[in-house]
Amino acid sequence: MTDTFKRITPEQAQAMREQGATFVDIRDPNSFGAGHISGSTRLDNQNLGDFIAAADLDHPLVVVCYHGHSSQGAANYLIGQGFSDVFSMDGGFELWNSQYPEHVARASDE
């Protein structure tokens, strides 16, 4: 394993999703509620500690933000918290939504 996160495309992320990778979304609650990758968990400062405490640190973890910039810092932080297999998705949710709209959950769906 490496001590830095890896940047991946939405296509690579989708393949990882199909293999059971964990997805975390660091966008604000309203944006997450309006639409997020199906099965993803919203992470913020309030639930981060509980998430880390309950997580399998060796399980692949994909971090998603709006456009793929903020997720890089969050991915780096999670590596520092002991996660070994962390990915930042380039293009963020916006690119995912344009490529995989069928894999987007919206508040009206849940």
Q: What is the pLDDT of residues 2-14, one digit of tens each?
A: 568 999 999 999 9
Q: Are 10 and 92 in contact (CB under 8 A)?
A: no
The predicted model scores a pTM of: 0.94
* Per-residue buried b or exposed e for 22-45, using 16+ beta carbons within 10 Å of the residue's own CB: bbbbbbeeeebeebbbeebebbee
Which CATH number belongs to the domain containing residue 53 in this structure? 3.40.250.10
1 within some domain? no
| CA end-to-end distance (rounded Å), the chain | 36
The domain tally of the chain equals 1
Q: What is the pLDDT of residues 45-98, one digit of tens each?
A: 999 999 999 999 999 999 999 999 999 999 999 999 999 999 999 999 999 999
71 within some domain? yes
Q: What is the span of the domain harbouring residue 53?
A: 6-109
42 within some domain? yes
| Catalytically annotated residues | 65
d(CA 66, CA 76): 17
